[in-house]
Every structure is written in C-alpha cells, then in structure tokens.
Chain A
Amino acid sequence: MARAFEVRRQRGFVTVAILCFIALYAPMVTLVAYSFNAGSSLALWEGFSLRWYGAAWENEAVQEATIRSVVVAVSASVLATAIATMAALGTTRVPHYRGLTAVYALINQPLMVPEIVTGVALLVVFAIVKEATGYHGLFYLIAAHTAFCIPFAYLPIRARLQGMDSRLEAAAADLYASPWAAFRHVTLPLMFPGIIAGAMLAFVISLDDVVITEFVKSAGQDTLPTYMLGQLRRVVTPEINAISTVLLAISVAIVSIFFLVTRKRT
C-alpha cells in the first residue's frame, strides 16, 4: 500500500537534522561555556570561574552601555507599541478603504528595507537635524529604534485584533457602551495579550540592534551591542562571552514569555 510522502521517513533525515541542530547550537554552547573560563583565552580552557561576570559587572563602560541600552529599548518599545496599537486599530477596526494595502506595506517597510540602508538614511537626516538644532542627545537613537521596532510590535497586535470577533464591539455598543467605553471594556482587554507580545518583541529587537545604532549614535553613546563590537576590535577576553551570555539569557526569557502570551488558549 502506498504511503503518503513523509519527510521523517527519508533516509538520512535524522542525520541531517542532527547536523543542523549542532550547527545552530554548538557556537552558543561554546560561547556560554567559555564565559566561565578561569583563564583569559577564548580558546583555551583553564578551569571554572565567575571572574569574567564579576569583571563585566564592575566595568564602568559596560554599566553605562547597559543602562543606555535599557533606556533606549524601554523607550523605543513603549513608543513603538503605542504607535503600532493605533496602526493595528486603524488597519483592522475600520471598513475597508482604498489604500489599506499600501498603508499595510508602509507600516511594515522596516522589515523589507535593508538595515544598512535605513542606517545610512538616518545618519544623513540626523546629521542635518543635529547641525540645525545643536542637540546631540539620546533622542536620535530612541527615534531610530522606535521606527524599526514598529512592525515587530504591529504584527502580533494586528494578529490578535484580526482573530477577534468584531461583533463583540457591536454587542458592546448595543448594550449602551459609548465608542470609548466599548474600546476600554471590550477591545482593549481582548487585545492586551497582543500588546504585551508586541512590546516584548520590540524590546528584544531594540536591545540587540547593532547596524542602525552604529550609524545613528553620537560619540560616547554606545549601547551594549555596539560596545561589544568595539571591544572585539581590541583585546578580546571572556568578558565578552559573559555579557553575551547574559544578553542571550534575557532574550530567551523574553521570547519564551512572548510565546506563552501569544499561545492560543485551548
């Protein structure tokens, strides 16, 4: 009897799968392992120690970059989520209008334009603005991060809204809720998991951005990833591994929560 094609039963499938997983995870395992190296080599194991975590913790440059990263990521993800929420409402909770598809494409533009192009474009524009205003603060970084975080915040919120029965809002209106009350008591609570998911995704994306930050930051405005990049050009110690491991742990934690929040209740 003919059996349906099943990729799992093909010869060599298991081998290929295992090789893929090794390729994906071996570098990370190595990275994490050497963050605990007692010696100062990235390649030579000299015993277990937490010294590089301590070094990173006490390194003032790391402290500064970390605070900056968090400030930028929190500000950018909050702003991006607020904008994305409005954009999601404006593209799902309205009758179809001409140009809706175009609006959708525009919102998701940062997903399609190469990061390096966005980086160069922002560099040019902000240079003009900096020249004109004389302001060199953190605002440029926050603005840039907000911009490229919007689609990441937008997609989960939009998905949540699309899966939501619009008759619920009609029912609320029918039961004497003003448009604002219907939004506050029905739409908002139901879209909330989408908003949380969008914010977390935006936070992670902002936290590990290198390319655009490199182009936009002023002197002395390193974020953690650009600081690490800068360090790599000089002395490389397992301190870098330690910082990377912490970043990895934070990202994994947030993305795990993201999946828990967006998972459909069964």
Chain B
Amino acid sequence: MDQDSISPARAAETPQETPAAQAVPAIDVLNVSKLFGEGQSAVRALDDVSVAIGENAFFTLLGPSGCGKTTLLRLIAGFDHPSAGQILLRGEDISELPPNQRSVNTVFQSYALFPHMTVRQNIGFGPKMLGWDKARIDRTVTDMLALVRMEALADRRTDQISGGQQQRVALARALAPRPKVLLLDEPLSALDYKLRKEMQTELKRLQHETGITFIFVTHDQEEALTMSDRIAVMSAGRILQIGSPREIYLHPRERFVADFIGDTNFLAAEVIEAGGGMARLRLAGGGEAEATVPEGVAATGRVTASVRPEQARLVAPGQGALTGRVAGRVYFGTDTLVTLRLADDSAFTLRVQNSLTDGEPPGEGAEAGIALAPGALQVLRD
C-alpha cells in the first residue's frame, strides 16, 4: 500500500516487507538534483528529490510557482536529464534515454496538438510512430475517441474545436500508445471554472478506467486534495511531505505544508513532556494540550503546533484547552468563521457549522472556551 516516500523516512514508513512494498514502483526517483546554469549563478531547481510512485495511482505534485514541479516532470518525460541521481521506470534506469524511448507520455499545458492533422490523426500519431499495424491503430483510435467522448468530432482539424475538446484530444493522444505513466502539467489551468470541475471528474474516471499511473502537477491545493490518491508537497526544489490527501491535510509535518494546504491555526507552545509520538504542550495562548508528534520531528523546547479551524469547538468559558475573546464573525452559509483573540494576543479561527437548532455563535467581545478535537493538535517541524 505504501509505495511513496521521501528518502529520510523511507525505512521508517515501511517497517515490514509487505508484498505491496516489494512491488516495483512505476516511477522511482532516486536522489535527483537538477541545476540550471553554472557556478555562482546556477539555479538548483531540484535538490536531492526522491519519490517512489506506485502502479495505478493518481499521484499529484503540489507546490507554489517555481518550486520545481515542471522540472521534475520534464526529467521523467526525458526532455531534460538529471544533474545527479537516477529515474527508474518499473525498475529500469531511464535517466539518459531520449523521450521517444520512454513509455511515458505527457499532456502539455498548451495541449500542443498538431495543427496540420485531424483529431483522429493526432490520436493515432503515437501508435503510428510505435509501428503498430493499421488495424490495431484504427481500433485504438476508435477506443480512445469513445473514452474521451469525441467520436462526433473525429475528422475535424484541431483548430476547429473548443478548448475543452482540445484538452480531451490531448488526453486521448497521450493515452493511445498505452504508456506506463502519464504526465500532466497543470492541464486544467487554461479552462474556466465549470469546465475545470468537469475535467477533474473526467481525469479521475480516465485514470480509473485505464489503470495507468497519472502524475499530475498543480498549484491548486483544492484540486490536489479532491483528485489524488497521494500528494507530494514541494517547495524550493525539495519534496517536503508525501501522503494521502487526508494525511497531508490532517497531519502536515511542516509549517509550510500546513500553511500551503487549507486554513490553519499556528500556536506557539512549549513542550512539557514528550514520548511515543505524543507531547504535552504549554500553549502560549494559555492552557495545556496533548499534541501528536509526526515521525522525524523533534519535540523539545519551543515549538509551533497547528490545528485546523474545523477541528476546534466553541465551549463555555473556562472549559476546553484555550480561552479567548471573540474578535469577529464571518457568515459563509453552511458555516461561520469565528475569530478569537487569545491571551497572548494571537488570533485563533474556528469554523462553526451553522444549524437551525444550535443558534448563533457568541457575538463580538464575548468570552469563549476552545475545545480541540483529540489528536487534532500537531507539532510541526519549522
């Protein structure tokens, strides 16, 4: 089950050799670095990145602009080669192979459809280059047209179809040669909101139906959470954390990850005692609380802890781990965001689900207690 990991934690994450853990990953990136330029002005676009991506997975690279997502994808596709390290495709070193000798296909952000060919010819290009016989090519193209629901437009030129349709053709073209891995570099960023939502569902379906490993790049955390089996969060050329959307959201290991994904409250704290993956914290905002300590995070002295707004509840003053004074409320329909000011003057936001029976949350200036859901408070690596 757990085939994805970053190098320092790899041993820790796979304690016993389960059969799944022994299986060869679809893509294995081993200590890859990529430098652009030379000497003083060199840019380290990737810095000792290691990640194993399992078969039949929807894997997402998530990170802010310039963190190296495209660079990593280009190395896997073969448009560029690593400065150091290796990339394995089903256990075979492909680091130095040109793109046309790797069973990896790319869906380009700009689609890059061939303008002098019809939709059908575009989809058939890969199989044709692979030297498949004509009957097999025709069958594949027909299947692909059906898969992306483009049968009706098969003989149009690609500049005579809409952006969403071009997107589908680009997908079909990349899937037609049945690659071992499909790379998608922000394929949805050029689409409008509604089409984007539609294509998100479509992509999930395609991954599911084809069983091909998808490596998907985005800087949209919501997109990453809703679509992925696993997510790698990147920053400044490094992978900070790899995990399921739930793990990444609920148990971010680092401040950057917690901050980049969703809304969160950061609490300054001091460790009273720690052990067994747990720690007792004295919160700067007042009160004490039990927190989880992720693998590889040192829980000593002053630390930062985080808790999601929906993992805290308003309770009567004096109860709960923290006490604060309501500084503002914002009504969102399904829920209300309540901001409280704590004893150390820091802000704490919680999300209160609106219901007909519970009445409104306390108004501005009122004193309130904050109860934290068990296991919701988490010590971060700075």
The reply on A121 being an interface residue by CB < 8 A is no
The reply on A186 being an interface residue by CB < 8 A is yes
Residues of B within 8 A of A171 (CB): 106, 108, 112-114
Interface positions of B (Cβ within 8 A of A) = 77-79, 98-101, 104-106, 108, 110, 112-116, 125-126, 129-130, 173-174, 177
A178 CA to B128 CA, complexed, in Å: 12
Residues of A within 8 A of B173 (CB): 175
Interface residues on A, range: 10 to 19
Instruction: Give the A-B pair count, Cβ closer than 8 A.
Output: 61
Q: Mark A168-179, 1 if CB is under 8 A from B, else 0.
A: 101111111110
Contact B112 A168 (CB under 8 A): yes
Residues of A within 8 A of B174 (CB): 174-175
The reply on A181 being an interface residue by CB < 8 A is yes
Residues of A within 8 A of B110 (CB): 165, 167
Q: Mark A148-181, 1 if CB is under 8 A from B, else 0.
A: 0000000000000000010110111111111001
Q: Is the interface of A mostly helix, strand, loop or mixed?
A: helix
Given A170-B79, A170-B99: A175 touches B112 (CB 8 Å cut-off): no
The reply on A190 being an interface residue by CB < 8 A is yes
Instruction: With both chains docked as a complex, state the minimum distance between the C-beta of B159 and any C-beta of chain A, in angstroms.
Output: 8
Residues of B within 8 A of A174 (CB): 77-79, 99-100, 104-106, 174
Contact A175 B125 (CB under 8 A): yes
Cross-chain pairs A/B with CB under 8 angstroms, 11 sampled: A171-B112, A173-B78, A174-B77, A174-B79, A174-B174, A175-B100, A176-B177, A177-B100, A181-B129, A190-B115, A190-B116
Give the 5 A-B CB pairs with smallest separation, nearest first: A175-B126, A176-B129, A171-B112, A167-B112, A173-B99
A105 CA to B125 CA, complexed, in Å: 38
Q: For residue B77, which residue of chain A has the nearest CB?
A: A174
Given A171-B106, A181-B129: A176 touches B114 (CB 8 Å cut-off): no
Contact B115 A175 (CB under 8 A): no
Instruction: With both chains docked as a complex, state the minimum distance between the C-beta of A136 and any C-beta of chain B, in angstroms.
Output: 46
Instruction: With both chains docked as a complex, state the minimum distance between the C-beta of B371 and any C-beta of chain A, in angstroms.
Output: 53
The reply on A230 being an interface residue by CB < 8 A is no
Instruction: With both chains docked as a complex, state the minimum distance between the C-beta of B124 and any C-beta of chain A, in angstroms.
Output: 10
Contact B130 A176 (CB under 8 A): yes
Instruction: With both chains docked as a complex, state the minimum distance between the C-beta of B337 and any C-beta of chain A, in angstroms.
Output: 43
Instruction: With both chains docked as a complex, state the minimum distance between the C-beta of B146 and any C-beta of chain A, in angstroms.
Output: 20
Q: For residue B170, which residue of chain A has the nearest CB?
A: A171
Scoring B79, B98, B115, B130 by chain A CB atoms within 10 A of each residue's CB, the highest score goes to: B115
Contact A168 B99 (CB under 8 A): no
The reply on A90 being an interface residue by CB < 8 A is no
Residues of B within 8 A of A182 (CB): 100
Residues of A within 8 A of B101 (CB): 176
Given A165-B110, A167-B108: A178 touches B100 (CB 8 Å cut-off): yes
